[in-house]
């Protein structure tokens, strides 16, 4: 009995179960792919464009446009006579205002903003002539304030005092000019007077008036009000 020959199986890369597409189907698939790809590109650009503008610095700009500016309507022209009348009225009004300003300025008191002071020597209070001479010299030197020592550390009054306790005491009351005379001379010269008066440092008054000081441990006197009502 003869032996049957077996079938030889050939291997091939072709899929026997896959159907071959027709040419029309291939064209349709190609067109559909292009349409879908275009749709994705359009959607992607629509979404990405605002983001690109925002991160590029355009996101903060307002898209609302401002209304256009409209110039105001021009006023009707006035006649030359009215213009001249208004001009003359304004001129007279301004001149009146200037006169008022001048009057107010002239009536306002002068104010000293800076003080340039000098100390007057005791000899300046010896007489009217000596005082006026010193004030003129101070004025020429650029001073507007003069300090006068009316009571020195010795206890002497360098102006003519009218106080009852010292007016007849020549040891204390040594002045020739009253305070009123000194102030008047300063005003005439355009000088501001300033008084310098020592109070607690006095070498004479406590010895002349027992009730005008207190005694300390070493037996010396010092100027102070010794009355109990005033803390003495």
The reply to whether the predicted model has a pTM over 0.75 is: no
Which residue carries 């006095």 as its tokens?
A: 202
List 223's β-bridge partners, or say none. Answer: 213
Task: State the virtual CA torsion across 151, 155, 157, 158 in degrees, nearest 10.
Answer: -70
pLDDT of residue 144: 94
Task: State the virtual CA torsion across 184, 187, 193, 199 in degrees, nearest 10.
Answer: 20
pLDDT digits (tens, 9 = 90+) for 181-204: 999 999 999 999 999 998 777 777
What is the band of 62 on the pLDDT scale with cuts at 50, 70, 90?
A: very low
Asked whether 204 and 153 are in contact (CB, 8 A), the reply is: no
Question: Distance between CA atoms of 133 and 126, rounded to whole angstroms?
Answer: 12
pLDDT digits (tens, 9 = 90+) for 12-46: 555 555 555 667 777 777 777 877 877 777 767 67
Helical axes 179-189 vs 128-140, angle rounded to 10°: 30
Asked whether 128 and 98 are in contact (CB, 8 A), the reply is: no
Strands 192-197 and 213-215: unpaired
Least confident of 5-9, 22-26, 48-52, 59-63: 59-63
> How are the residues of the chain apportioned to helix, strand and coil, as percentages rounded to the nearest 5?
45, 10, 45
Domains contained in the chain, CATH given: 117-198 (3.30.750), 200-232 (no CATH)
Question: CB under 8 Å to 189, separation ≥6 — which residues?
Answer: 132, 135, 136, 138, 139
Highest-scoring range by mean pLDDT, 16-30, 127-141, 204-218: 127-141
pLDDT of residue 232: 46
Highest-scoring range by mean pLDDT, 47-61, 95-109, 123-137: 123-137
pLDDT digits (tens, 9 = 90+) for 66-109: 555 565 555 555 445 555 545 555 555 555 445 555 555 555 55
pLDDT of residue 32: 78
Query: What whole-number percentage of the chain has pLDDT above 90?
Result: 27
pLDDT of residue 171: 86
Put residue 179 in one of left, alpha, beta given phi > 0 → left and psi -120 to 50 → alpha. alpha
Average pLDDT value over all residues in the chain: 72
Question: Distance between CA atoms of 53 and 82, rounded to whole angstroms?
Answer: 60
What is the band of 214 on the pLDDT scale with cuts at 50, 70, 90?
A: low
């Amino acid at each position: 009995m003869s032996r049957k020959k077996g079938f030889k199986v050939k291997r091939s890369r072709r899929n026997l179960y896959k159907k071959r597409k027709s040419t029309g189907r291939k064209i349709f698939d190609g067109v559909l792919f292009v349409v879908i790809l275009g749709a994705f590109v359009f959607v992607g650009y629509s979404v990405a464009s605002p983001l690109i503008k925002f991160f590029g610095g355009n996101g903060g700009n307002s898209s609302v446009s401002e209304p256009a500016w409209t110039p105001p309507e021009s006023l009707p022209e006035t006649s030359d006579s009215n213009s001249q009348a208004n001009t003359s009225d304004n001129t007279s009004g301004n001149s009146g205002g200037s006169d008022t300003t001048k009057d107010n300025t002239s009536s306002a008191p002068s104010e000293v903003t800076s003080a340039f002071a000098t100390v007057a020597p005791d000899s300046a209070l010896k007489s009217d002539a000596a005082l006026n001479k010193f004030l003129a010299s101070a004025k020429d030197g650029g001073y507007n304030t003069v300090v006068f020592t009316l009571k020195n550390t010795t206890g002497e009054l360098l102006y003519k005092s009218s106080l009852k306790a010292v007016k007849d005491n020549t040891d204390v009351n040594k002045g020739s000019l009253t305070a009123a005379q000194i102030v008047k001379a300063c005003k005439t010269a355009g000088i501001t007077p300033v008084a310098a008066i020592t109070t607690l440092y006095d070498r004479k008054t406590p010895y002349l008036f027992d009730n005008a000081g207190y005694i300390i441990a070493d037996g010396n006197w010092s100027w102070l009000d010794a009355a109990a009502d005033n803390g003495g």
